[in-house]
Structure 1
Amino acid sequence: MTPYRQRDGWPQAVPRWAAIGIFLYLSVFALGFAQLFLVPIVLAFLLSMVFSPVRRTLHRRGLSQGLAAILIMIALLVGLATLATALAVPVSGWLNNATTIERKIETRLNEVSGPFSGFFRAKEKLESMTESDDSDVQKVETQDNTLTRRLASLVPTFITQCLFTLVLLLFLLASGDMFYEKIVHVLPTLRDKKRAVRITQDIERKLSRYLFTITLINAGLGTAVGVAMWLLGMPSPLSFGIIAFLFNFVPYLGALAGIAIASVVALVSFDWLGWPLIVAGTYFFLTTLEGQIITPYFVGRSLRLNTVVVFLTISFWAWLWSVVGMIVAVPLLVAVKALSEHIDRLEPLGHFLAERHAEPPRHDIDPTGD
């Protein structure tokens, strides 16, 4: 790198790598700082991508954009209410019986391995000593009350973000293709107009196809897991189907979390210690079948991504936006990959994001704009 000159003690230019580093740092800081504002916006746009084909189908059948948006919102709210109702009873029961479940897990682990017994006896002795001290009991109660208050304080924020997401989604669906019209109106040349419309349409098409297909696949996986848990005699098999459906939106980590939950419930529900392994193996087999055969076949090779990049992307967005970040990580990666297929300078990025031996399709653009 050639040194840059200074005049009056100030550099005349900033090195390119330094400018890029500062931009990336400020971008990450801004994304983290504006999380409460950006999360519902990103979720609303992703949901609008999912329901855009449905909206267009209803519009072609004679319904107005607004009425189609209202019908979609009603169906979405009914679905969310159904999922929440189905999960409310078993989850509340698990939370209420958390102490009993913990003791059962300790007992079963004592049966599996003797060395754990000393640890659990020491833990029980420490708890009994804590219970004998009134001041310590008061301290524990105060901490529990503080934790309860902190959790309760998050409820208004969660409800506000959900309402913001749903209202914005309604506006996005009711507006139809207004954004395409705005893009055509703002850009100066016909070539730029065509290119921008082509890029936005391709990104929307790929995101919509990906999210809508993944939703259907996850619904099928949830049904298969629920039926399998019912055949195995697991309690609340419907809950495990819903958990599989929701958790599978997070690649890799969602399946592992579902397997862990099913294993713990099987551990405290059955007497034979082999049942947790059978339940975990069944769950793992179904998720592996979905991830290695069904999803690649229906999603298509054009959206296949580098698995290492996917894992790192999920980890980054999980660190930045927690659970919501894990959900939006892959759709955002799909959008970046689709964008790279239209811009020559981003073509190396598209090759890097694609899986091995996958050639990203090229969308040749006529330089004349015709």
Structure 2
Amino acid sequence: MSETSGETREPAIVAPAIGLVNRQTFQAGPRWAIVGIFLIMLFGALYLSSSFVLPVVFALLFMLVLAPVVRFGQRRLHIWPPLTAAALVFGTFLLLIGAFSFLTGPLTDLAGNIPRYVSVVNEEIDTVRERLGALRGARMEASEAVGAQDGTQQPQSVIIDGPQLLNSAALMVPQIGASIAFALIFLFFLLSSGSLFYQKLIESLPRLSDKKLALTIAHEIETELSRYLFTITVINAGLGCVIGCLMWVIGLPMAPVFGVLAFALNFIPYLGAIGGMMLVGLVGLAEHRDATGALLPVLLYFAATTVEGQFLTPILVGRRLAMNAAAIFLAVAFWGWIWGVVGMFLAVPIMVGVRIVAGYIDSLQPLANFLSAERQPVAEVEDEMT
């Protein structure tokens, strides 16, 4: 009887265990599926509502940077926060108007010269093709075959109409102006409210521990983003001055414009420097009509950005704000895909905020570790594994 009872009890012990494993396995699947569906819907909504979301994001970003100035004026100088907010917003507006006035004329000339630049590039490409006889012969044979099939032989050409490009840009000016005005007005209300934003954030959370954690995260994001953006702005301003002077020394036209563009493009890691080098190389080729005229500005631009990226920025920014280079590149590419060029400018500040938030949440520690550039020693990893 004991053997019989033992045989009958064994399935009863194994069956609940199998059911528990299956239940846990099938519960994990829907949970990840729900998270995936949520992320897809979130990023789709951000893409579709970019005209509204982008001004809000910019206003929140500038609020984090300028809020310490407002608090300093209120606590130390006893200035009413709306007055400080109005002065900061008006100063930002004047800065934008000055930059627009300075760049409008040179950028219009640059856009008007695009057909000439493209023509010079096409001439250089034709020269290279002529030197490569085999490639040129294959091209002629392919052209003759296409002409025989169609009955006519049509040459291939690249046409860029400068006036149409300027007209397209002119049509975007009202929309850009409206977005800037909305962002500045929203920024004024955020700054003039003082610490009301943080008070409402704390009041919306139920537990005291959550309130303390949210306040700590908000203050750290504000501190780190302010420090990062201020440091990067100073570095980029110095880089723009250096590149502008270098372009002026080698005789490249519109050297100050290239300095300002270098300042703006360097906010986009990696891709901004590549775009700047392509631009100065194109203008240098069009102006000097030889390889030396195209390569010299590119090499100078590359040398300046290399010194800035490999030596100056790591020293001034420090290890605390250093981030994974691969993660930065993916973030720039992703937010550029979602929001275009503006998303590339916002990629790193968003990444800094996400890394800070993930560092305080246990379930997001792997994400914080992936975004951080700090490396854990191999000995510590082996100790944890053993």
TM-score, with length taken from structure 1 = 0.81
SS in 2 for 1:274: helix
Structure 1 residue 341 displacement after superposition: 1.9
Q: Which residue of 2 aligns with 1:331?
A: 349
Q: What is the CA–CA distance in structure 2 between the aligned matches of 1:179 and 1:280, rounded to whole Å?
A: 46
Instruction: Say whether residues 1:72 and 2:88 are aligned partners.
Output: yes
User: What residue is the counterpart of 1:39 in the other structure?
Assistant: 54
C-alpha distance in 1 between matches for 2:299 and 2:41: 45
Asked if residue 21 in structure 1 is aligned to residue 36 in structure 2, the reply is: yes
Contact 1:58 1:68 in 2 (8 A): yes
Alignment of 1:310-349 (within 5 A): 310-349=328-367
TM-score normalized with structure 2 length: 0.78
1:30 Cα deviation from its structure 2 partner:
1.6
Shift of 1:186: 3.4
**Alignment equivalent of 1:228, drawn from 232, 235, 246:** 246
Shift of 1:113: 5.9
Report the CA distance shift for 1:318/1:344 in structure 2 as closer, same or farther (over 3 A): same
Indicate which of 239, 242, 248 corresponds to 2:257: 239
- Listed one character per residue, the Cα deviations across residues 78-117 of structure 1 (whole Å, up to 9, x for unaligned) are 2212222222112111222332332233334555663489
CA distance in 2, matches of 1:276, 1:146: 27
Query: Cα distance 1:258–1:173, how it changes in 2: closer, same or farther (>3 A)?
Result: same
Matched, 1:81 2:97: yes
The equivalent residue for 1:291 is 309
Shift, 1:231, TM fit: 1.4
Distance 1:206 1:13 in 2: 36
Counterpart pick for 2:120 among 99, 104, 109: 104
SS in 1 for 2:360: coil
Relative to structure 2, which stretch is displaced further, 30-39 or 254-263? 30-39
Count of equivalent residues: 337
C-alpha spacing 1:55/1:217, structure 2 compared with 1 (3 Å): farther
Counterpart in the other structure of 1:128: none
Q: 1:150, 1:99 → 2: CA distance? A: 16
* Distance in 1 separating the partners of 2:200 and 2:39: 29
Q: Distance in 1 between matches of 2:355 and 2:271?
A: 22
Letter in 2 for 1:195: L
**One-letter amino acid of the counterpart of residue 92, structure 1:** T
One-letter identity of the residue aligned with 2:239: L
2:231 counterpart of 1:216: no
Structure 2: runs of 5+ lacking an equivalent: 1-19, 144-158, 378-386
Q: Structure 1 residue 144: deviation in Å?
A: 9.6
Distance 1:32 1:92, change over 3 A: same
Question: Which of the residues 274, 288, 291 maps onto 1:256?
Answer: 274
- Give, in whole Å, the separation in 2 of the partners of 1:256 and 1:65: 42
Provide the identity percentage. Answer: 38
1:308 to 326, 334, 338: 326
C-alpha distance in structure 2 between counterparts of 1:203 and 1:154, whole Å? 33
Return the offset for 1:51.
2.1
Contact 2:243 2:304 in 1 (8 A): yes
Q: Which has the larger radius of gyration?
A: 2
C-alpha contact 2:111 2:165 (8 A) present in aligned 1: no
Contact kept in structure 2, 1:313 and 1:330, CA below 8 Å: yes
Checking the alignment, whether the CA contact within 8 Å between 1:217 and 1:295 is kept in structure 2 is yes
**1:273 is matched by which residue type in structure 2?**
A
Change in 2 beyond 3 A, CA 1:223/1:62:
farther
Q: Following the alignment from structure 1 to structure 2, what is the Cα–Cα distance between the partners of residues 114 and 312?
A: 39
| Separation in 1, partners of 2:116, 2:361 | 58
Distance 1:55 1:298 in 2: 25
**SS of corresponding position for 2:188:** helix
- Structure 1 residues 230, 112: closer, same or farther in 2, change over 3 A? farther
Deviations 1:225-284 (CA, angstroms, capped at 9, x unpaired): 111111121111110110001111111000100011011111112255312211111101
Alpha-carbon distance in structure 1 between the residues aligned to 2:319 and 2:238: 21
The match for 2:9 is: none
User: Aligned partner of 1:69: which letter?
Assistant: A
CA apart distance, 1:210: 1.1
CA drift of 1:331 comes to 0.7
State the alpha-carbon separation in 2 of the partners of residues 319 and 22 from structure 1: 19
Q: Which runs of 5+ in 1 are unaligned?
A: 6-10, 126-140, 360-370
Asked if the contact 2:336–2:342 (Cα under 8 Å) also holds between the matched residues in 1, the reply is: yes
Deviation, 1:222, is 0.7
C-alpha distance in structure 2 between counterparts of 1:93 and 1:146, whole Å: 14
Assess, with a 3 A threshold, how the Cα gap between structure 1 residues 348 and 173 changes in structure 2: closer, same or farther.
same
> 1:35 is aligned with what amino acid?
S
Greater Cα shift, 196-205 or 90-99:
90-99
The corresponding residue for 1:52 is 67
Cα offset, 1:54, TM superposition: 3.0
Aligned residue type for 1:41: V
